[in-house]
Structure formats: C-alpha cells, structure tokens
Structure 1
Amino acid sequence: MLTIPTLRSTPALASLNQIIGPQRATRLREAANEIHHRLDGGTLWHVNSTPAGGGVAEMLRTLLPLYAELGVEARWAVVGGDETFFAITKRLGVALYGSDGDGGPLGPNERAAYLAALSPSAESLVQLVDRRDVVILHDHQTAGLVATLADQVASVHWRCHIGVDEPTPASDRGWDFLAPMLNAAETLIFSVEAHVPARLRDRDIQVLPPFISPFDAKNCDLTVEAIDACLAHCGLSPESAGGRAPAVLDTGAGPVRLRSAPSVLSDGPRRLGDPLITQVSRWDRLKDMAGVLTAVTAHVPRGHLALVGPDPAAIADDVEQEFWYADCVERWRGLPAAQRRRVSLISLSMTDPTENALLVNAIQRASDVVVQKSLAEGFGLTVAEAMWKSRLVIGSAVGGIRAQITDGVDGFLLPDPSDLRWLGQIITAALAGEVDRQEIGRRAHQRVRSDFLPDREVTTTASILAPERMATR
C-alpha cells in the first residue's frame, strides 16, 4: 500500500535565507533552477517507508515545502508492507549496522517475501510517475523498487542513511541481500563516506549528510514560558513548579496545540535545582538508552535523566521498539528508589508530528547536557538538533556523530560506547563547571549553521542531477 503524506505548506524560504546569508541564498536559488530545468516538467520524487518518526521523514517534511517555494515540483510517497516485510527490513537494517539482530536469515526466501510485499507499492508508483521524473529512494526498505522504476523514469537514485564504520560478517550479509537490487540505480548516496561498502566503491557515489530544519517546531526559538509549559506537559518541571500547561503555545513555527499526553514513567517530579541530562532517540538496542540509564545512575552523582522516545507502538517500520522500551522499564524498576527517582522514561505521542517536535525542542533546550550514546549510528540528527540549540552534546564516536562533533571543540566524543564510567565522568565534569558549556555550545551552533542546513541538500541534489554528470553514465 502506497500513501502520499499530507504536508503543511508553511513558508520557510525567507527564514532560511536570513540564516544562511545572501551568498548561500543565491546559490540555493541557482541550484533549484538547475533542478527545475533538469526535470523539464517532471517531478522529483522522494520515497521512504514511514511518514513520521526518524530523521528521513522529518527532513522530507521540511524539504518538500521548501522545494515548492523554490519552484521545483517535488512529491513524497511512503511504501507500506506487512508484518513480515517490516521484520525482514528491521533485520536487514540491524545487519547494515553490523549486528546480527534477531539472528534470522537474509536469504532467497526473505528476498522473495520482501519483494512481494513491495509489489503493491511498486505498482502504485508506476501509475504515478512520468518518464521525465527523477526518483530518490531512501534506505533499505525501498531498495527493491530500483529495478521496477528504472525503466519508467528519467533516473533512480538510492540513498542510504545507515551503515557501519568497520565491516562485520553481519553487515556483509546485509549487503549480500541488498547490493544486487541496486544495479539499476544511477547514483548511490551515503550520509557518511566510511559507510560505503567496498563492493560499491566503483559505482557513482555521492556523500550527502542529512540536515536539520532550523525554522520548524523541532528547532525554532522558544520563549522561556513555552519551554516551561512543555516541561510541565512531560512531567519534567522541577518539584516547586505548579500550574498546568496552556493548551496552545505560540512558537516560531506558529501556534502548536498540546493535546496528546506523553506516557511518563517516573517516581516523582524532578528535584528543584537538579540539572537535566537528556537522550532523545528511538527505543532501539543500537541507541542504547539502557546504557545511558546505567551510566547516569551509577556514575553521575547529581542530575535528572530524561530518556525521551516515541510511542513505542507508533513506528510502523520498527517492530522492535516495544521490546527495547520494555527493557528500559525493567532496568528502571530494578534501580534503588533513590536512583529511580532521578530518571524519567518519556514516550511522546506520534499523533501530531508538530506537537511531538515541539516537546523534543523544549526538552533539549532545557537540558544541561544532551547525550547520544549510540552503539552504531547512520548520522544521528538529534546531535545536530541539540548543537543548533547551543547545548553541550556528548556522543559516541561512531558513524555520522563523528562527522558532527569535533571532540573538545564543539562537543565531546565517547571513544568506546561501552565505557559507561567515562561517560559518567564527562557528564559530571560538565555539570561541575570544569568545561565551558557556553563556549562549546556557541561553537556547536556555528558548526550546524555552516554544514547541516537544508540548502546543502538542494545544492548537492542539483550537482547529482547535472546534465554533464548524467551524460557520462
């Protein structure tokens, strides 16, 4: 089943131009014109596997309205699948991260089931596309569409947002499954150069990091009052704070209604004066929420930890979230009462993506330290989001996190993601004033402004579709 997400057409170009300055704004307009001329009346399609949750969906909710303002015809389609399809794609995704996951096979039977589940989406797309169209397929859930679409459109490009820094037997099995389906793709686009497998390095490869949207509800500036209201809504207000959050908040992204109560597991409000330590991510083994829980409760003497993720039942293309959320709950329940009191497990509703984004924004802005202790990572947009908010971020030295943080300059890198004691020590040092959180936060913001905003997406796409490059294929 193929779906076309509904997008809010919020003007963003003027706001972006103010942030990036006149030179980059001019190049952005030129790049959009190049894409428009290359399409020659066709459409630029982006295809992924979920309309909400995860970095790809968030980027597309910014990118498609921006393209519309720039005069580029662009559309977004979401492929569907059955339970078997998402079980296979979860196994495949974990394999590409270098791990065995559930240990199940990725052989001919699984490939046949995967392609069969994609078949209805492929048939629907064939009815929608035009010979002049360009299609960009995102991640392993869509790779099986390459061959079908290649004969129907001007060009098909496949984009990979995940990977592993060093190949493993598991990642090799993942690429054994995936690589044969990519033969007809014109370009293979990776977020991190190190994630390109050796078997694909003779192909036309482009490296394109993801971006954050600085003017949407996830990253726009917020007043102190709006932040406090969101903290109250999520049960993170200090114990002395009273009153209820207003139903509607005025934000830089427009009015946002707070109507979906998060699921909050805690033993009471955050203590007055306790600094806030936060990790925002999916409930996923590779994001290691449980490791952050242990590191803070065992090795950080003061502070309140917020582990913030989506409703674990709400992400269709990730069938393991409920298991890993339950694992965190079990570990939390096993803590001594004094340590349990220092932790909140917060699951945000996915019913309204704008409300969800606003709550994440507020929690990150209220945080003294933001952590991203991934065991493996494709890119990790939550790092760039927190850096944009001038937070001190501590991330594992894996995947795209290393491409965002310069250790000791605009954040800190954890060399060994399993070293919980070191993580606790650097958090403790940061909270004790042993590092200049304000200066590091300032540098972090500047890094994101320079390298991880939407104009880079458009300018790189223009270069990928340049006629002279197409002619050499």
Structure 2
Amino acid sequence: MLSPIEVGKKSLDNYISTAGERKILEIKDLAQKLSGLRVLHINPSAFGGGVAEILFTLVPLMRDTGLEVDWFAIQGNEKFVKMSEDISNALKSKKVNITSEMQNKYLEFCKENVSKIENKYDYIIIHTSDPVGMVNFRENFSAKWIWRCDLDIESPDMEAWKFLCPTIQQYDGGIFTMKQFMRSDMKLKNFVISPPSIDPLNLKNSILSQEEYKKIVLKMGVNPEKPIILQLSSFNPLRDPLGIIDAYRNVKQKFPDVQLVLITFISSNDPKAWKYYEKTVRHAGEDYNIHFLSNMNGVGSIECNAFQRAASIIVKKSLEENFSVVVTEGLWKEKPVVASNVYGLSVQIVDEINGFLVNTTEEFAEKMILLLEHSELAKKMGIRGKEYVRENFLITRQLNDYLTLLGRLSGVIN
C-alpha cells in the first residue's frame, strides 16, 4: 500500500553559502515559472537508500520554491518485493526468469496502488525500478509521468526487456544518472541527466571541528593521529572488501602504522551480507589495524561524517557501480579518493585531478602509497574535489535538474 511520508521544512536560502547566490537565484527564477504545480514522488521506501535520503531534502526544497509536493512510499508484500528485485536484476543485465504469472501478480499490485492515488497531480515521479509498472494504469490521470532510473540499463536481460520496454515507453519523461545508462529503444524524448547529489547541510555533511571528529573516531577504537584508509560500503563481492584488504597489506609494508577502516550498514535479517561480512573478517585475520564498524556497533550519520573527515584517503573498490554517494561525501570533505575505474565512479573522479581511477589491486596500493608519501598532492586533490562537488553534485543542482524537466514538459522552457 502507499504511505505518505512526512518531511521537515527547508529553506533554499540556507544553501547560498554552499551552492552560491547565483545558482540559488537561477533556481528561484525557474521555479517562479512553475509555481503551484502539483507533484507526487513515489518510491519503494522512506528509509535505507540513497533515493530516500535525497527525497528527504528534495521534497521540502521543491515546496519552498512554490510547488505543491507529496511523497508516498510503496509498501510491497513479499511477492512484490521478489518481483521488484528480479526486475532490478534484469535491468542490470542479469539473467532472470520472469514468468507470465509473476508479471500478472506484479501488475495487479501496481494497479492496486495506483487506485489509491488521487487524480489531482500535474506530475507523478516514479523513483527506481520497483514501482516502474504503475504507469501501465495511468489512463484515469491527467498527470504526466516521469521515471527516475538509478540503474545502468544499457544492456538488460533481453527476455525481461520485452516485458519492461513497452512499460517504460509510456513515460512522458525520464531522469538518468548518465546518458550511457540509457537505451535508444525507450524512445523518451524528454529527459535530463541528473546524477545523485548530497545535502551539504545534513548530519552526514555538517561541519565538525577537528576536536569533535577525532573524539568520535577515538571512541570507536581507531587512532586519529595515524593514517586512515576508509572504505564505506556494503559487504558483497561486487564491492570487493577482500581486495581492499589486500591493497592495504601492500601499503602497510611501507607504512606500518596505517589503519584500514571498513564501515558498512547491514540488516539483521540479511544472511547473504552476514556471510560475506564473516568471510571478510576471516580474510583480515588478526590484524588489529583493520577495523570493522557498522550500524550494529553504533555507527550512524555523525560517525560516518567523522571518519570521512579523519581519513587520509577514501577508497571505493567496486567491480560495478552506478554512482557512489559516499565518494561524493568524501570529496566534499576535501579527501582524495582512489576508486575503481568503472562507469559510475568515472563521473565523480577526474583521474589525477581530485583522485585516481585504477583497475587493479596493485594500482590501488600504488596510488595510496603515493598519496601518503606526498601530503601536498593529497591536499590539492582534496581541495579540487570539494569544488568539483560544489559544481556538480549538490542537492541544489539536482533540484535545478528536476525543475528543468518539469519546465520542458510544461512548455515554459525549451
């Protein structure tokens, strides 16, 4: 079922200090042309994901610009959740057998949820692949429908695509992370490229003094006076925590005091994640300079903020990645980032400017050693990284993207 999500108030003017007055005035000028538009956001959950985190800021900022905005989260049953997972995997090119019975059950659930929506909106924005099928039941709505796709769907499972493509073609507009993540046969004429963003004013990015973040890090059992390599990521083979441990061991030969901190957020009822977590801990052995931290032992937004500020280097070793918000957060805190040379991360890292893009475990170690040996280089990369985020990955840019697409679909801008 659909559940309304309550959000607090935010003022666009508060972002002048981070985004700059010119950009805030541009947003206000655009929003004035759209004043009074009614917009509904729908996504799978109000918690536990980058989409929800963005909406907690985007929704109140859209309201502050003069739009009437609601946000509903879709509460799925077990079969819907399974089907949604299959759809996501199929779009990411994994082979999935989506039977006719599964399709019908999924569409029934989408239809049931659409029936709960009032026909009072000018735009309905569907976030992620889970509720993408809701557009099939738009016939009783005057609203235009927009799909926010957070996946690389360039090479989907083609059997599943035969089911999904006609659905996606019914949308009036789309929002994508990268143009390379799109397919031409979607036939979407109106779209914007809008990578995920961060809220520079939320708890994860709020300013902490050196004294404050060192105190937090020390409390978690890590020495803030010694070099820290930080990876904040889920524990699964695609995020390769085993590989980053191997790279750290190479670095340790030259810098014996270096520490590796691996932070994750893990659910108590996720057996696959726990199994890989345990495998990673075994791989670390009895090296007490490798620290495993998670929400299970008190890590939250403020702790992540503190570790990102205390880190010497932030790493992101991924075999595939659509986009990494934690990389953006690290860059915003003026930290050099060493990351895998994959599509999504190459949007965030300009190689040898604000970090390094590498292809092997050995290259990870090589670049980390270089940054630890040359602190001035690390500092310069960090400064460039923050400015790169300011220009490209703040929530105000994403707000502008959304308003631009609404403006095009409304006919008030070209």
* TM norm structure 2: 0.90
Q: State the distance in 2 between where 1:58 and 1:150 align.
A: 31
- 2:15 is aligned to 16
- Using the TM superposition, name which of 63-72 and 214-223 deviates more: 63-72
Change (3 A) 1:92 1:421: farther
Q: State the distance in 2 between where 1:209 and 1:121 align.
A: 28
Q: 1:145: Cα distance to partner?
A: 1.0
Quick one: percent identity of the two aligned structures? 24
Q: 1:15: Cα distance to partner?
A: 2.2
Q: State the distance in 2 between where 1:273 and 1:454 align.
A: 33
Q: State the distance in 2 between where 1:313 and 1:283 align.
A: 13
Q: 1:77: Cα distance to partner?
A: 1.0
- 2:312 is aligned to 368
Q: State the distance in 2 between where 1:435 and 1:176 align.
A: 53
What SS does the corresponding residue of 1:220 show, helix, strand or coil? coil
1:365-444 alignment runs, 5 A limit = 365-414=309-358, 416=359, 419-433=360-374, 436-444=377-385
Q: State the distance in 1 between where 2:406 and 2:99 align.
A: 34
Contact 1:279 1:371 in 2 (8 A): yes
- 1:309 is aligned to 264
- 1:331 is aligned to 280
Q: 1:212: Cα distance to partner?
A: 0.9
Q: 1:94: Cα distance to partner?
A: 3.2
- 1:63-111 CA distance string (max 9 Å, x none): 112223222211211112123322332333234333x3xx642343332
Q: State the distance in 2 between where 1:300 and 1:177 align.
A: 51
- 1:365-393 CA distance string (max 9 Å, x none): 11111112222222221111111110111
2:86 to 88, 91, 108: 91
1:226 to 183, 187, 212: 212
- 1:145 is aligned to 134
Contact 1:122 1:145 in 2 (8 A): yes
- Using the TM superposition, name which of 21-30 and 224-233 deviates more: 224-233
1:69-218 alignment runs, 5 A limit = 69-98=64-93, 100=94, 104-124=96-116, 126=117, 128-130=118-120, 132-149=121-138, 151-163=140-152, 167-168=154-155, 171-173=157-159, 175-201=161-187, 203-218=189-204
Q: State the distance in 2 between where 1:69 and 1:371 align.
A: 36
1:255-334 alignment runs, 5 A limit = 273-297=225-249, 300-301=252-253, 302=256, 303-313=258-268, 321-334=270-283
Q: Which runs of 5+ in 2 are unaligned?
A: none
What SS does the corresponding residue of 1:47 show, helix, strand or coil? strand
Q: State the distance in 2 between where 1:432 and 1:405 align.
A: 21
Which residue identity does 2:24 align to in structure 1?
A
What SS does the corresponding residue of 1:391 show, helix, strand or coil? coil
Q: State the distance in 1 between where 2:177 and 2:139 align.
A: 23
What SS does the corresponding residue of 1:465 show, helix, strand or coil? helix
Change (3 A) 1:232 1:410: same
What SS does the corresponding residue of 1:52 show, helix, strand or coil? coil
Contact 1:52 1:350 in 2 (8 A): no
Q: 1:190: Cα distance to partner?
A: 0.7
Q: 1:138: Cα distance to partner?
A: 0.8
Change (3 A) 1:112 1:399: farther
Q: State the distance in 1 between where 2:314 and 2:409 align.
A: 44
What SS does the corresponding residue of 2:115 show, helix, strand or coil? helix
Change (3 A) 1:275 1:447: same
Q: 1:438: Cα distance to partner?
A: 0.4
What SS does the corresponding residue of 2:261 show, helix, strand or coil? strand
Which residue identity does 1:14 align to in structure 2?
D
1:457 to 385, 398, 409: 398
- 1:446 is aligned to 387
Change (3 A) 1:350 1:459: farther
Q: 1:202: Cα distance to partner?
A: 5.6
Instruction: Give every structure 1 segment of 4 or more consecutive aligned residues whose post-TM-superposition deviation is greater than 6 Å.
Output: none
Change (3 A) 1:432 1:129: farther
Q: State the distance in 1 between where 2:351 and 2:172 align.
A: 36
Q: Which runs of 5+ in 1 are unaligned?
A: 239-271, 315-320
Change (3 A) 1:369 1:48: same
Change (3 A) 1:17 1:113: same
Change (3 A) 1:437 1:145: same
Contact 1:150 1:184 in 2 (8 A): no
